[in-house]
Amino acid sequence: EDQVTQSPEALRLQEGESSSLNCSYTVSGLRGLFWYRQDPGKGPEFLFTLYSAGEEKEKERLKATLTKKESFLHITAPKPEDSATYLCAVQVFYGGATNKLIFGTGTLLAVQP
């Protein structure tokens, strides 16, 4: 069964304290791995897509990396405005249904000033 697991479930950081979030997956036919950010009361906001092992993408204080079994979202010198839930999703090939995403349950990040 295709599965996506995120850890930790929750993370509390001090402003400026760098850390990483993990997304491990067990899927067949991976087409891509997506990171989204979700603020309370809002829909998920797209951050990155990674397609192959070794690929990296950056956006401001965030950097996403991908291996064959997991992805990391590195947060460098976070600020309070980085507080949110970060969701990982994998796009799986199911024959013609290539747009299907399977989401992890997310990591709730709180950055304290």
Residue 45 sits in the site that holds other proteins (CB under 8 A): yes
The contact mask relative to other proteins for 49-68 (x = CB under 8 A, - = no) is x-x-----------------
Under rule CB under 8 A, residue 107 binds other proteins:
no
40 binds other proteins (CB under 8 A): no
Contact pick of 32, 65, 66, 90 for other proteins (by CB under 8 A)? 32
Q: Is the torsion defined by CA of 14, 72, 70, 29 positive or negative? A: positive
Instruction: Work out how close the CB of 17 gets to other proteins at its nearest, in angstroms, rounded to a whole number.
Output: 27
Beta strands (DSSP E) in the chain are 3-7, 10-14, 19-26, 30-38, 45-50, 56-59, 62-66, 70-75, 84-92, 101-103, 107-112
- DSSP classification of residue 60: T
Nearer to other proteins, 14 or 99 (CB): 99
Pairwise CA distance, residues 111 & 90, whole Å: 26
Q: Is 105 in the site for other proteins (CB under 8 A)?
A: yes
Asked if 34 interacts with other proteins (CB under 8 A), we say yes
DSSP 8-class letter at 65: E
Asked whether 64 and 20 are in contact (CB, 8 A), the reply is no
Could you list the residues that contact other proteins (CB under 8 A)?
A: 31-32, 34, 36, 41-46, 49, 51, 87, 89, 91, 93-94, 96-106
